[in-house]
């Protein structure tokens, strides 16, 4: 089984995320944010892609795997039932299915990591993206935790571990 990683950059700096990715052997980041904009320095699309390229890591943005605005609002309000319903509906459309196929191909060719904001994968839609890639494409999904000490930790993220 091929490994697929996920990471959230909440409360992290770009240098710490880059160190975490390099330490894990990641060759490509698959950005699964619908809007790849961030108030955190270095995490908007152009700056992130440039920082990753400088570190020797590829970057791909798959907008169709992102959470729509109403889902992001439900997440901010901690309306989990509504949030997961919106995520599941958005990942069931044809555009998302095509993007999942693309993500699977990319992750098979190079060690890859799904990137989104939330540090905790249990409350981030990238968990569901990972679950769909695991179920449909045979990946084992692992979450990278970024620490300021540049000492990354990983734990396997299984669908049952967040419930």
Domain holding 65: CATH number?
3.90.190
Which pTM does this prediction carry? 0.92
Tally of domains in the chain? 1
Specify the DSSP class assigned to residue 130. H
Given a cut of 70, whether residue 153 has pLDDT beyond it is no
In a 10 Å sphere around its CB, with 0-12 CB exposed, 13-18 middle and 19+ buried, how is residue 42 labelled? middle
Domain that holds residue 152: 2-162
CA distance 35 to 73: 13
User: Is-contact 91 132, C-beta < 8 A?
Assistant: yes
Could you give phi then psi for residue 82, rounded to 5 degrees?
Answer: -65, -45
pLDDT band at 149 (very low <50, low <70, confident <90, very high): low
Cα 12 to chain center, whole Å?
14
The 10s digit of each residue's pLDDT in 48-98 is: 999 999 999 999 999 999 999 999 999 999 999 999 999 999 999 999 999
pLDDT band at 159 (very low <50, low <70, confident <90, very high): very low
User: Is-contact 55 22, C-beta < 8 A?
Assistant: yes
The 10s digit of each residue's pLDDT in 69-78 is: 999 999 999 9
């Amino acid at each position: 089984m091929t490994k697929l990683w996920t990471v959230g950059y909440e409360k992290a700096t770009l240098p710490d995320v880059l160190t975490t990715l390099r330490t894990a052997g990641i060759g490509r980041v698959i950005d699964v944010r619908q809007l790849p904009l961030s108030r955190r320095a270095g995490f908007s699309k152009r700056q992130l892609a440039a920082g990753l390229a400088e570190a020797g890591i590829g970057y791909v943005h798959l907008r169709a795997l992102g959470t729509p605005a109403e889902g992001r609002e439900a997440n901010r309000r901690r309306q989990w039932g509504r949030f997961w319903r919106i995520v599941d509906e958005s990942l069931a459309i044809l555009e998302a299915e095509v993007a999942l196929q693309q993500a699977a191909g990319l992750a098979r060719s190079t060690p890859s990591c799904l990137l989104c904001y939330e540090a905790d994968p249990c409350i981030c839609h990238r968990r569901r993206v990972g679950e769909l890639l695991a179920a449909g494409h045979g990946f084992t999904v692992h979450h990278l935790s970024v620490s300021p000490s540049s000492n990354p930790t990983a734990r396997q993220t299984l669908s049952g571990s967040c419930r």
